Chain A
Amino acid sequence: MHASTSAVKPRTKPRPLARTGSRYAHYRKYMVLYLISLPGIFFFLVFKYVPLFGSIMAFKDYNVFAGMWKSEWVGFAHFKRMFEYPDFGRILMNTIAIGGYTLLFAFPIPIVLALLMNELRGRLFKRFVQTAVYLPHFLSWVVVAGIVIGILSPTNGLMNQLLNHFGIDSIYFMGEESYVRSIIVGSGVWRDAGWSTIIYLAAMAGINPDLYEAAQLDGANRWRQTRSITIPALLPTITVLFLLQIGQFLDLGFERVYVFLNPLNGGRGDILDTYIYDVGLIQGQYSYTTAIGLFKSLIGLALIMGANALSKKTTGEGLY
């Protein structure tokens, strides 16, 4: 085991030894390093790559008894069916609408919130604000849904109590299609807006204070400083996060949406992920929903690559 005693000769830099010894000698010497990395590599191969290659079932007619390999190839039949199916169009529209609202509201709000928080000077109040806005992030989506459903309840919810105070009749928010998208997007903002400010606050902390001082000497007020120094300094961070967000455009997350759905509001609320769960897993249409899943991944990839190329051309910033 302790073959490593041969490493007594001191090295000055932690870089690989010049390839003096044979390949075999190297692997033998660092065998332990390679060995302990195996479980992790194995994990990625099994739990990430096997399902990835399993996606080819989208091009087959998966038969539970025949198994993956012996099932028949059907080419793009499942994709064709997907586009012909009227429900699919509706669900794709739901996904795009909720994704679009998320981009529109959930993305910029943390930036504004971070800019506001950055202006706070009192230490104690600053800590209080941070604690309060980070808090909801740690609640599970089920708990968030429980809170939201409780607040919006027509019989005892805080929201309707307030509406009644102003003489407005109670609204059954969870029971009407027209509210479900706002509820999903709004609860996402409530849970994660504060948390998303962290990266922006970190970026702001890295801005050279001399810049503000110079601006002050030039007579710039706070708002002018924010506009001319803080926001430009944040732009690279904003760009990168925006690109990531675009890549996840259709990846709204099963957990956060599924908790808000019920038979009354599903018409405008169910998204690709929840559809895949219902039709694929519950009803057993494996190949068809794998095709939908693959479609979703490819759109996401195309979006992120397109946005990245565009961003590189216009701003010079990109993910890669």
Chain B
Amino acid sequence: MNAASTSTPTSISSTIRRKKGTSYVIPTILAVICLIMLLPIFNILAQSFSSAAAIGDQRVYLWPVEFTTSNYEAILGQTSIWRSFGVSAIITVAGTLIALAMTASLAYPLSRAEYRERKGVLTLVLVTMIFHAPLIPNYLLIKQLHMLDTLWALMLPGAISAFNLFVMRSFFLAIPGELIESARIDGAGELQTLWKIILPLAKPAMATMGIIYSVALWNNYANALYFLSERSLFPLQVKLREFIITDSSDLATTAADIANLSPEGLKMAVIVIATVPIMMVYPFLQKYFIKGMMLGSIKS
């Protein structure tokens, strides 16, 4: 751009910048912010492993007091929790597979120049990003499709997110057209090309999308609240809501049964149990999510 910049490599300029300003103000502020982010989580963990007496006397801060696993034992001893866990696992795994197949199978044709109707289809999708139908017509649709009180109601309505579709499409667009060309010269059909060449190349993208969809499926509870009334189908988040917020569950009786337990400790244990699966994939999540976010933000 200007004359000065050509003579100085950027690495040097950044070291100049680094040398100055060794203030500790900003790191300190950020450390405090990190504490605010993490303290609540530590407190919940500590309470879930503390005895009822210690919680009642307000002796628990960030470390378990009178360590016990009885809260977890009581929770995991309930069959209804395991059932909800199973429902959540099913909708997360099956729902993610459906979402990936649906998203990729629309995103790929839209990335090909030979697909003449892409403008029309892209407009069709864009409109849905701007106008959202109200809740009731959505509910009546699910009802008319006879999907009320089925797990389909939790998996199908979100099978394609328009935003993810655009991200996926830009992944596909980045694949050089020559590859498709040469595959065709070698005599591969469209499906073969897609399966053997495009999808293996798009693996990172598929992984990213898969994680995004599965977190959304695992964390969603609104759809279950809207579309399910059959208690045996309740996923973990709905169960969790009953436990922590409405208290209208077997929790109180469980706590009353076993003198040593407090409802608070039990609640904290349920929270931890519902969070553990997400936390186990958090390192992957962070890496892939950010990539997906960046790509999405650049393209849109």
A interface residues with partner B (beta carbon < 8 Å): 1-2, 4-5, 7-8, 10-11, 13-17, 26, 30, 32-34, 36-37, 39-41, 43-52, 54-55, 57-58, 68, 113, 116-117, 119-122, 125, 128-136, 138-143, 145-151, 153, 155-156, 158, 161, 164, 190, 194, 198-199, 202, 208-210, 212-214, 216-217, 221-222, 251, 254-255, 258-259, 262, 273, 276-277, 280-281, 286, 289-290, 292-294, 296-297, 301, 304
Does B108 lie at the interface of the complex (its beta carbon under 8 Å from any beta carbon of A)? yes
In the complex, what residues of B have CB within 8 A of residue A15's CB? Answer: 113
Which residues does chain B contribute within 8 Å of A7, judged by CB atoms?
184
Docked complex Cα distance between A216 and B4 (Å): 12
A and B contact pairs by CB, cutoff 8 A, 21 listed:
A1-B189, A14-B112, A26-B116, A30-B114, A36-B106, A36-B108, A44-B125, A120-B27, A129-B34, A132-B33, A133-B37, A142-B221, A145-B241, A146-B240, A156-B47, A210-B2, A222-B20, A276-B135, A277-B226, A286-B140, A297-B132
Assess the B21–A222 pair: CB atoms within 8 A: yes
Contact among A13, A44, A47 with B177 in the assembled complex (CB-CB below 8 Å): A13
Q: Are B245 and A280 in contact (CB under 8 A)?
A: no
Additional A-B contact list (6), CB under 8 Å, known A1-B189, A138-B279, A139-B275:
A4-B189, A10-B185, A54-B138, A143-B240, A273-B135, A296-B134
Indicate whether A16 sits within 8 Å of B40 (C-beta atoms), given known contacts A1-B189, A52-B137: no
Chain A interface mostly: helix
Check A149–B37 contact: CB distance below 8 A: no
Which of chain A's residues have a CB closer than 8 A to the CB of B107? 40
Interface string of B287-299 (1 = CB under 8 A from A): 0001001100110
What number of residue pairs across chains A and B have CB atoms under 8 A from each other? Answer: 311
In the complex the two chains form, what is the Cα distance from A259 to B18 in whole Å? 45
CB distance from B40 to the nearest CB of A (A): 5
Q: Name the A residues within 8 Å of B109 (CB-CB).
A: 33-34, 36-37
Segment of B56-64, B200-208, B249-257 in the binding face: B56-64
Q: Is the CB of A37 within 8 A of B121?
A: yes
On chain A, the residues within 8 Å of B117 by CB distance are: 34
- Asked if A141 contacts B219 (CB within 8 A), the reply is yes
Say yes or no: B240 contacts A281, CB within 8 Å: no
Across the two chains, which residue of chain B brings its CB closest to A174? B245
B13 lies within 8 A of A209 (CB): yes
Q: What CA separation (Å) do A126 and B221 show in the bound complex? A: 34
- Say yes or no: A289 contacts B271, CB within 8 Å: no
Q: If A49-B128, A259-B241 touch, does A286 touch B136 (CB 8 Å cutoff)?
A: yes
Contact B160 A40 (CB under 8 A): yes
B286 at interface by CB-CB < 8 Å: yes
Min CB–CB distance B203 → chain A (angstroms):
19
Tell me what chain B mostly uses at the interface: helix, strand, loop, or mixed.
helix
Q: How large is the interface on B (under 10, 10 to 19, 20 to 34, 35 or more residues)?
A: 35 or more
B61 touches A158 (CB 8 A): yes
The 6 closest A-B pairs by CB, nearest first: A293-B134, A40-B106, A14-B177, A54-B137, A51-B133, A140-B219
Q: Is the CB of A277 within 8 A of B135?
A: yes
Check A161 against B61 for contact (C-beta < 8 Å): yes
Q: Given the complex of chains A and B, what is the CA–CA distance between A52 and B39 in angstroms?
A: 44
Q: How far is the CA of A258 from the CA of B241 in the complex (A)?
A: 10
* Complexed CA–CA distance, A119 and B106 (Å): 41
A43-B159, A143-B240 known; A52+B47 contact, CB < 8 A: no
Specify which of A55, A147, A199 is in contact with B41 (CB 8 Å cutoff): A147
Assess A129 versus B30: contact at CB under 8 Å? Given A41-B106, A140-B221. yes
In the assembled complex, the CB of A3 is this many whole angstroms from the nearest CB of chain B, namely 9
CB pair A208–B1 under 8 Å, yes or no, is: yes
Residue contact A135 to B37, C-beta cutoff 8 Å = yes
Assess the B240–A210 pair: CB atoms within 8 A: no
Which residues of B sit under 8 angstroms from A39, Cβ to Cβ?
Answer: 102, 105-106
Once the chains bind, are B137 and A37 in contact (CB under 8 Å)? no
- Contact B124 A41, beta carbon cutoff 8 Å: yes
Q: Which residue of chain A is the closest to B278 with respect to CB atoms?
A: A138
Which residues of chain B have C-beta atoms less than 8 A from A44's C-beta?
124-125, 128, 160
Residue of B115, B131, B267 with most partner-chain A CB within 10 A? B131
The verdict on B79 contacting chain A, using a C-beta distance below 8 Å, is: no
Q: Which of B40, B113, B165, B294 contacts A151, CB < 8 Å? A: B40
List residues of chain A with CB within 8 A of the CB of B76.
none
Check if B187 sits within 8 Å of A5, measured CB to CB. Answer: yes
Q: A120 contacts B222, CB within 8 Å?
A: no
CB-defined contacts of B103 to chain A, threshold 8 Å: 40
| Contact residues in B for A304 (Cβ distance below 8 Å) | 130
- B160 contacts A280, C-beta separation under 8 Å: no
A-chain residues with CB within 8 Å of residue B136 when the two chains form the complex = 57, 276, 280-281, 286, 289-290, 293
Of residues 216 through 268 on chain B, the ones whose CB sits less than 8 Å from some CB of chain A are: 218-222, 225-226, 237, 240-241, 244-245, 264, 267-268
| Nearest-CB residue, chain A, relative to B5 | A210
Q: How far is the CA of A6 from the CA of B105 in the complex (A)?
A: 24
Contact of B275 among A36, A48, A143, A289 (CB under 8 A): A143
CB distance from A17 to the nearest CB of B (A): 8
**Residues of A contacting B29 in the complex (Cβ-Cβ under 8 angstroms):** 116
Question: Of B128, B137, B245, B264, which one neighbours A156 at CB under 8 angstroms?
Answer: B264
> Is the pair B30, A117 in contact by a Cβ cutoff of 8 Å?
yes
Contact of B278 among A14, A139, A292 (CB under 8 A): A139
- Chain B 38-79, CB-CB to A under 8 Å as 1, else 0, gives 111101100100000001101011000000000000000000
